[in-house]
Amino acid sequence: MTTRGKIVIGALLVALLYFGINKLIGSGMLFKKAATESVLLNSIELPTQTAGTRTNQAVPLAPLPGRTPTEKGAPVTWEVMAWNSQMAGMLANGGPRTTEGSSMAANGLNLQIVRQDDVAKMQADLVKNALDMQQNPETPGLIVSIMGDGLPAFSAVQSQLEKAGTGLQILPYSCGKSFGEDKLMGPKEWLDNPKAALGKTIACYLRDGDQNIALKWCADNGLKVNPDETTYDPEAVNFMAAPDFLDAAEKYITGKPEQRTKVVKGKDTGVKVDVPADAVATWTPGDVNIAKQKGGLVNIVSTKDYSNQMPNIMVTTKLWYDAHPKEVEGIMTALAVAGDQVKSHPEALSRAADISAEVYGDKDKNGGYWLRYYKGVSEADRTGEVVELGGSKAFNFADNLALFGLEEGGTNVYASVYKTFGDVQSKLYPKELPSYVPLDQMLDLTLLKKLQRQYQGKAIAPADKQQFAADDEIRQSVSKRAWNIEFATGKSTFTPAAERDLNQLFDDLVVAGRLKVAVHGHTDNQGDPQKNQQLSEDRALAVQQWLSRKSSSAFPEGRVQIYAHGATEPLASNTTPDGRAKNRRVEIVLGN
């Protein structure tokens, strides 16, 4: 055989061998295929980025909860307002009542979600539940969700609960927060000139979260507030009481005035005036109703600006909480699982919105409605003015660590929120709220710390973090306020008296977590102008450094900017000691 023939035969043999082996393997006779089962991946951890310290994590879509109510689990009732911050809770439960395949069912709960917009009724129901538990310890527990900044006023129920042998207790976990949904809506001119609000009237539900937005905006802009909703002060911002947030919007839409007595500098003039609602503090669908039915108002400030103001806080009684640690931990775990799903997957969020529609029961508002305004939208109102409507966020486990100050370098954000608005409400309404329950009497982070230890060393989906660019100037001012923070004469060191003002400033700025902070330093005209210029810069820098040292998480790099003006922008005459004292100041501007 020739060499060429040998090569041809060899090539044929190789080809036959190759295809034969492939066929044999494919038939399964040589290597049997292993039996396989589909696997649900809980998480896929990706390599840590070299530029950061947090591990990236993909959160796969889990099976959505079923629709059949469960027959098992510890019975609990959860009263909620119609509020989009509860999306994680809706998905966790699977329906108005816990369904098979839901994360609540997986954690041994049988939860009934009930809409309740009346805060006074929530308080009464907690007292009744406590009395029922005294008679029968097997009575199902009751949890209510309220605006976190409204808890100081809500805590007035404590005296009634103490008569029932118990007190208020916070579940150390939040399922979400308002992020634009709750707002102060007013005439457009208030944006550029807050003093235009003097002599005007804001309709709202008093001593709760929406009024708090208006009160903080007034305080941040140095506007006097009239706390008496039965009188009219032309030199202050007035309020009109509404039984709920929807009625507050209706008072503006109908335009029906209230007759009140005019007061000037606290004195009754005897003059009667008709007072309409010029502005409204409300939330969705109140803001949507205003835009669609009348219009004419824009967002002055909202929880998108005061981004830490309004977490959804769940409260119950100590009596039930202490007796059911397993159930409380189960609720927290179920919310953590659902929070990741709602934040990561449109399918999960859409399902949560459908469940919200079932719970809230408004026939004209389907799941698509709640989904739309959960995300937040810009729409033209009846007058053609474009306004932002809605806006909420779901929380996951990492968001809760940030909220309660358990992350590295963190601060208890909710503690600042609670104290800020507790002090404001107590000062304005001493008769209705002479004092409020200290937070540490209601909040125990033991269970949240326990879950944190269980997650130690494991990657978790990161919390939402606001990013600030150091060179990004404030373009739209939300507020401007002078702070008389005392410094040692001719120095940039704080006096002992400055500590109280600094701590109040800290709490105020923590609430407004999404806004940039501009610190403007000013001096009087005594001494050398160049030295005054440097002194004003040093004092502004001292405030910036104090805030960053107190909480690196609340004041990340780029959030606080400093400006030095020396004696160039006096507020008063420098010819008197009182005038010079007013000119030695630090002004804080918040904006975005």
Count of beta carbons in the 10 Å neighbourhood of residue 326? 12
Confidence of residue 456 (pLDDT cuts 50, 70, 90): confident
Name the nearest CA neighbour of 189 among 269, 89, 298, 262: 298
Q: Are residues 203 and 286 in the same domain?
A: yes
Does residue 245 lie in a domain region? Answer: yes
Detail the DSSP E strand segments found in 285-401. 298-302, 312-317, 377-380, 386-389, 392-394
Q: Are residues 312 and 394 in the same domain?
A: yes
State which of 302, 334, 356 marks the end of a domain: 302
Q: Are residues 440 and 506 in the same domain?
A: no
Does residue 462 lie in a domain region? Answer: no
Q: Are residues 159 and 219 in the same domain?
A: no
Q: Is the pLDDT of residue 464 over 90?
A: no
How confident is the model over 232-258, as pLDDT tens digits?
A: 999 999 999 999 899 999 999 999 999
Does residue 12 lie in a domain region? Answer: no
Q: Are residues 171 and 188 in the same domain?
A: no
Cβ(146)–Cβ(315) below 8 Å: yes
Q: Edge-to-edge strand order for the sheet containing 258-264?
A: 231-232, 258-264, 267-275
pTM for the complete prediction?
0.85
d(CA 573, CA 581): 10
**Range 487-490, long-range pairs (CB < 8 A, 24+ positions):** 487/539, 487/542, 487/584, 490/527, 490/535
How confident is the model over 397-439, as pLDDT tens digits?
A: 999 999 999 988 889 999 999 999 999 999 899 998 999 999 9
Question: What is the domain count for the chain?
Answer: 3
CATH number at 496 reads 3.30.1330.60
Does residue 510 lie in a domain region? Answer: yes
Confidence of residue 133 (pLDDT cuts 50, 70, 90): very high
Q: Are residues 233 and 287 in the same domain?
A: yes
d(CA 514, CA 478): 11
d(CA 112, CA 77): 5
CATH number at 236 reads 3.40.190
Does residue 27 lie in a domain region? Answer: no
How confident is the model over 298-311, as pLDDT tens digits?
A: 999 999 999 999 99
Q: Are residues 433 and 511 in the same domain?
A: no
Give the residue with greater pLDDT, 468 vs 182: 182
Domain span at residue 427 reads 74-177+308-454
Q: Are residues 341 and 315 in the same domain?
A: yes
Q: Is the pLDDT of residue 119 over 50?
A: yes
